[in-house]
Amino acid sequence: MDGVVPAAGDGTRLRPLTDDTPKGLVDVAGQPILTHVFDRLLAVGVDHLVVVVGYEVGAVTSYYGDSYRGTPISYVHQRDRLGLGHAVARGGSVVSDTFVVCNGDNVFQRPQSAALNRSRDDGVDAVVVTEELPRDEARKTGVIETEDGRLERVVEKPDDPPSRLSTTGWYVLPEEIFDALELCRPSDRGEYELADGLSVLAAAGGTVSTVGLDGWRVNINTPADVDRAEQLLTD
């Protein structure tokens, strides 16, 4: 099973830690962020890592080479960073069958095994791991509208969130997501949103299920986030 890791960003809000280091190689509790991501993916059965790289690409490829703990790595270049949907679409050239996405700037306490288990249920096409956020935080991310545990649509960074249920950066997706993303147009932010691809998939009759986050996760955007993740890992 393939594991796609979007890791092309330049980590502007993490400066000075990212002045000459890609975000994925920023140290958190003695290991680069990407190492934490890879470990969680291997724990759920991923046997091929697909890393979407961009900023300081040579540093990432030099650090990890062509494998991690015996698991082969393929690198896909995202020259123009046009959003998460664009990053996932770039992985389409090397991905086959159902695959996992874990954002390369997230540290998860545990592997999200429940998402893989749910994806094997009859009739389930895709799975999104979710968490409930305070309303102010929900305005800053993708918010999910559901019905009977199924995703109806995702609203990206809404001024007036229709719910407080948010995406977490962990997904189990079918190959059909690439066709769905082809139908998407850039959002108001000028980016191709994975959220829009999921909405298209659901509107076309695909069953996009949701499962709650197991444990905690920290989206590493600032030096304060690094400190928080390190404290949680230490505890």
* Residue 81 banded pLDDT, cuts 50, 70, 90: confident
Ramachandran angles phi, psi of 146, nearest 5°: -125, 160
Give the per-residue pLDDT at 223. Answer: 92
Interval 119-161: pLDDT, tens = 999 889 999 999 988 877 777 776 888 777 677 777 777 777 7
Residue with tokens 């994975």: 194
pLDDT of 4 higher than 80 = yes
Are 115 and 101 contacting, i.e. CB atoms less than 8 angstroms apart? no
pTM of the model: 0.92
AA identity, residue 213: L
* Residue 104 banded pLDDT, cuts 50, 70, 90: very high
* Closest C-alpha among 139, 142, 112, 129 to residue 46: 112
Region 205-230 average pLDDT: 92
d(CA 146, CA 133): 15
AA identity, residue 10: D
Q: Residue 217 region, left (φ>0) first, then alpha (ψ -120 to 50), else beta? A: beta
Higher pLDDT, 164 or 228: 228
How far out from the chain centre does Cα 209 lie? 16
- 2-234 homologous superfamily: Spore Coat Polysaccharide Biosynthesis Protein SpsA; Chain A (3.90.550.10)
pLDDT of 61 higher than 90 = yes
Residue with tokens 């298209």: 200
Interval 217-227: pLDDT, tens = 999 989 999 99
